[in-house]
Structure 1
Amino acid sequence: MPSLAAREFRQRQKTYEPTDDGLNFTTWYHVLDVQRIIWKKYNQLSSKLKSETLQPFVFFDGLDQLTLEGMLSPLVTILKKSSQNYFPFIFKPELAGAHYIAGFLRKNKDQTISIILFNPTGTLPRIDYGNYAYAFRLADAESDESEFEKNVIYFEIKDKTLHYSVIDPKGVLRTNILTSQHLKDLKIELDLNKPLTTELIRDQLKPKAAQILQLTLARKETEQKIEIISSPKKIQTHEKDGGPLVSCGPLSIIFIEYIMSHPEYMEHLDKEFQLPEILDLESSHEAHVLRFLALKKNKAFDLMQFLNADTKKDFNFPNFLDEQEKSSLIEYKKLVITYRELIKKIRQEHYMLLDTIDDSFVETAGVIDESYREVTVAILDGQNDSEEAELKQNSDYPENENLIDSWDEEDFEIEDASDHSLPEEEPILAEIEQLLPAPDVVLSTKKQSDTKDIDRTQAGTIISGTDIGNIQFIDREKNKTIPKQDLSEKHGTAPSNPEEREDVKFIRSQINRFRENAKSFFSINNGMKADAIEHALELALQDEVKYGVQDVRMDQRVKDALAIHRIFGFFGCKSTTATADLEKSFEHTPRVR
């Protein structure tokens, strides 16, 4: 008779349900099964390997007030205190979700901490991390910004400065300027008095792309304390899984199992994110994969039907496909078959592994619970402290008490676990920009428009250097930048006693909240966010001299500043607490007219 752990892997209800059977390809792994498998795998390691790596932590389900910050902070603390160098983990980024993501914390030789994330569906890299996801082009003097493409960085020299623009994965136009001193600091040999050429972009700028963008975002203190590396590669897709994304559990466990046995891999893993060989199925099929992705855009051909069709029968290809495309589809289908067979094999191996766990361990849960006790208690303590601090900060607005950083129904739409089939173009993590540390200052932003004319007058702020004191603001009347210190001279004083208005009081309460919380490891950017909100508030009040009294909560610059994610916006699944508080505040205080 199979062990209790093996039986529960296949049946958790009194009656057998195929959707509960872990051997079924279309079943999501239960978190208890993941914990048991990881615990068993770790305890099979040699003492030497255990001396390098802490026992992986599989995050439990069921907490409604849990942020990624609250999850990882205790892990960072424990890793720093330990003699080991690595701390693997697995978690689900969504409330009531079924998607698993793996990763590990790395203690570097300089005592900094790196966070490495492996998402089976891949992540879109933020523009300041590497140049592998972006094409580089020379900006055409005749081109219009509304025609800019995503994942392309456009460079040009204007007024003896280097300008570049990029449409980020969310469709936001970001533009920045680098001076000759910036280029000199980066050891880039570029004469700003001469025209820019494609050769110069290729030879001088592309190799330094990551440093250029990192400098521009000015993430000084944050970058010194924390580095985030994430895999951009899509291992898991709807086509490979045959519909819903169900293989994240097995894939995440494979990753954790591999890194536990290969500390040298964890030590040297960088932003290129070379996958372990067992997971790197597509590298030798790159040409076929690219043709397959191109054919996905053709709605006249049902790719899923082709991939799920019986391999023993000939498939009737549409006439519009050429022989090369047909060949690539056949090769890609072989890759999908290999992938599915691998997942089935892994599930069978996990079932057999669970069958070796003694029933007494499962019945008492003692072994697993004890090994996770320290982290679990720290997470719960940190959660309670966070809730109390937020409640104290928001005491002037009692209706905000339920808007603490949390997995709240108001913050994001909860998916039904039975329908985990997001479109391929919208991976679970959404944009990596939501994941990485927020810029210390607000960049020039504008939603990409279908029209030819992009209004730069509402762009917000533009970075002219790496110091927040150098931020320049947009003068909406004359469409030019003016230094912050000139604002009071140009616009005069705001209407009498604006600080007594409820809309201004609310924004001030948010500024104070971020200043008070700018102390923890994961809250380094709170102070900078407070500065950005305060600058936006000043601009809104100055504009009232010309345009009359307006509710500052409705000012787009204020909204943008409130929406900045301090460090971790939960993978695009939730809005910032400040944004949620803003919407809730209108119920407490009507809009100022």
Structure 2
Amino acid sequence: MATRPEEVFKNDDSQVLTRASREFRYRKEGNFVKDGRDFKTWYHIDDAQRLVWKYYNDIKDNFPFGTNQSIKDVMLPPYVSFDDDRLNVVNFFSVLINFFQQAENQHKVFFPFMVKPETGGAHYIAGFLRRNPKGQVDIIIFNPIGLSKHDRIGTELAKLDKDSLNIANIISSPHTIQSTEKDNGPLVSCGPICVEFLRIAMSNLDWLTMLDKDFKLPPDLLAPLQEEYQEIIQKYRLKHDQLLTQVTETDLDQLDEDYKFIIEAMLNGLMTWLRQDSVKATVQFDEDDWFSEDNYGSESELYDASDEEEFSDEEENPDDKGELINTPSTSPNLKPEMTIITPYSSPKLSPQKQVENKMELEELNNSIIKKVENNQPQVSFDTNLNILEENNLNKSTVSSPSGVKYVQDEIDRLRKASKSFFAIRCEKKATLIETALQEAIRKGDDVRNDEGVRAALGYHRIFSFFGLKKADALQHIEESLNPPKNQL
């Protein structure tokens, strides 16, 4: 099959790279370029998905139990998940297990996953759902930090309804493979370690079948404990880099196709879970917090500020003063309260409208988009409802306000990204920004400082990768307002 023009390029060493390997080595985040081969770089979720998908598809031996079954006969494709500020351990695993228990999946024995299940968290764990001969489900959890004082995942898993979900056992690895001491600071190595765990486990289903609470690890996974830790992790990263040079553009298309079934099922399941538990979404901006540093809310949350130095998988930037999306963890009755920032909320607009559920919030956003798509008149803010209403286009405007190009660049970037299946609702966000931009142009001031534009830029798409991190679009605009000195 012919190689697409955009599929490969040559770096300074004349080595041919695929898009997957290029993005692993040269992933742009703000003003920085992150290299997955670097020990201090966290694995991006796209890289983790591609690596695990490739390992799964490259396993060709017959498994298990001396039969002629293949891995795909007994195992669902691995689910490598993006996280979201509305996800937590209880609702995520409830939906994951329900999916595994669906009739069409009853013949599968294993369901591998690699996720960041804490609310707005960024620490990878890996594991499997395993069906026992009685049809019950074992949850196998591999957390690289083991059962340390920072492991709140096990505590949250204990809240799952074992009877209704037909859970037999929750088996957690006690092994402390990773630590802040070994990583010399933030826990940057959870990505490569979890990828290696899945690679080894998917190739050793007999071992996985027999795995019990003693959690005896294969020798390959014990290597970081027995040899030079950082040296081993570096070998993992370089091996993964080489694997991604084998992931073609055609493979990436197939990956998107393979994930559609589970993505749709998980989205539908989570929305159903939220509706059934009568979740109320409060459209809220706190004027004091709009440009304050992110904080992690109450002590009941899975993450709090005191954990960040040792447990966070995201770099802390003291100058990154982003908007707060605060999601308390579930109560004993599993009825979480959820705070969602809608694109056109403003810290100065009041009173705030209470939206009864997420579906109503979606309807408001969709009505905004329909106005733009149907070429309706210009829109502006309704200070009573925090949504948009029609405005007279004949009012005089100030020509050529500052910052339009920068905002338009973000719109174009999102529309380009919307072609990927995983870029959920990029087109919707682009349209929301465009609508706010039109209103800001009418005012004549620098559009980058306009409240509506900033709210739209800061809007977090559902299942955004880092729910408590400032949206990339807003971050890019702030960087354009405060460029590095060497760019002035």
TM-score (norm 2): 0.49
Question: Whose helix fraction is larger, Structure 1's or Structure 2's?
Answer: 1
Q: Give the structure, 1 or 2, with the largest relative contact order (CA under 8 Å, sep 6 or more).
A: 1
TM-score (norm 1): 0.41
Instruction: Determine which structure has more spread, i.e. the larger CA radius of gyration.
Output: 1
